[in-house]
Chains A and B, each alone.
Chain A
Amino acid sequence: MPRPIANEPSAAAAPPSIGKIFTAFALIGISSFGGGLVAYLRDVVVDREQWLSKDEFLGALEIGQTLPGLNSTNVAIIVGRKLRGPRGATAAALGLILPGVAVLIILGLLYVRFHNNPDVAAALAGVAAAAVGLLLQVTLKIGGRSFLRPKDLMFIIPTFLMVGVFHVSLAATLFLLAPIAIWLNRPESLKKKAPAPSSDPEP
C-alpha cells in the first residue's frame, strides 16, 4: 500500500505510489517525439498531476539546468525525490528513459543490420543532414541575443574553437573558462570590493 513518507511531500495529500510515478513519467518518455521534454514534464507534473506548483517546477528546472546532465532527467530526479525519495527518483528517471531506450534498441538493430544498404544509407544521409539543422536551430534559439553581446561572444568563440576545432578536452576547457566566466558574473556584493571606476575609498 502507498504510505506517506517524510520526504518533503509537496502537498498535504499522500504522495503517489512508485508505480504511479513510473507510469506518469513513462507516458512522457513514450510520447515525447521530437525533443522539448521540459514542456511535456511541466504539463504532466504541474497541470495534470499537480505534484508541484508552477514555482516549485521552475525551481526544479533551475537546479536541473545548472547541474551537469540532461535537463529532463535532472528534473525527473528532483520531482521523483520530492514525491517519494530515492525510489521515487529512480522510478521517475527510469520511466522517462526506458521507453526511448526500447525504441532505440529496435532502431539500433535495424541500423546495424541495414546501414550498408544503399537505400537506407541515402535515407540516413537525409536524416543526419536534418538533425544538424535541428541542432543549429536549437543553438540559435537558446543563444539568441548572446550571439550579439561581446561579453558572451568572449566565451562562445573560444569554447567553440577549443572543443570543436582544436579538440582541447572538455574538462580542460571547462576548468579554464568556467571560473573566469563565473567570476565575471560574480555577485554584486563582491563587485563593490573590487577597484571600481567610482571614487570608492579603499577598505
Chain B
Amino acid sequence: MAGAVVPAIRIQREDFDVAAEIACLTKGRADIGAVVTFSGLCRDEQGALSALELEHYPGMAEAEIGRIAAEAVERWPLQGLTVIHRHGKIAPGENIVLVVAASSHRQAAFEAANFLMDYLKSRAPFWKKEHRADGSEGGWVEAKEADDQAADRWKKHSD
C-alpha cells in the first residue's frame, strides 16, 4: 500500500451525498476491492418524534473522531476512510452520520466501519435531544450500556 491513508473527517450542519462520498474515495483508483458504508439516519419512533437536535463540542468532535479514525487506519489495511457527522436539527428520514471505509478486501472494510461506529457512539462528543411530534418537550437521549459494551469488544488485550 502506497503511503499512509489520511482519513477525511467532516463535522457539518449540511446533509451529505453517500454516492458522491464513495466516488470521492474510489475515483481514479484500481486498487480498491471493497467499500463499506454505514449511514445513520434519524428515526421517527413510530411517529412520536418530529426531530433530533444534535449538540456537539466544536474542536473536540473533530479531534476525537480524528483519534478514532487514526486508530482504525493503524489496525486495518485501509485505502481510504471518510467520516461525516452532522449537527443541528435533523428531521426523521434525514442522514446523521456516515462512515466510508475502503480496502483491498471486504473484511478490513467491514471491521473498520464497525469499529468506527462503535467508538463514535461512546466517545465522540455529540448529544441528541428529542423534539416530540405532539409539541411537548422531549428529553436528552440516554446513553445505552449496550453501546459501551459494543465499543469494549474492540479493546486489545494489552489495554
Q: Are A and B subunits of one complex?
A: no
Instruction: Give the B-binding residues of A (Cβ under 8 A).
Output: none
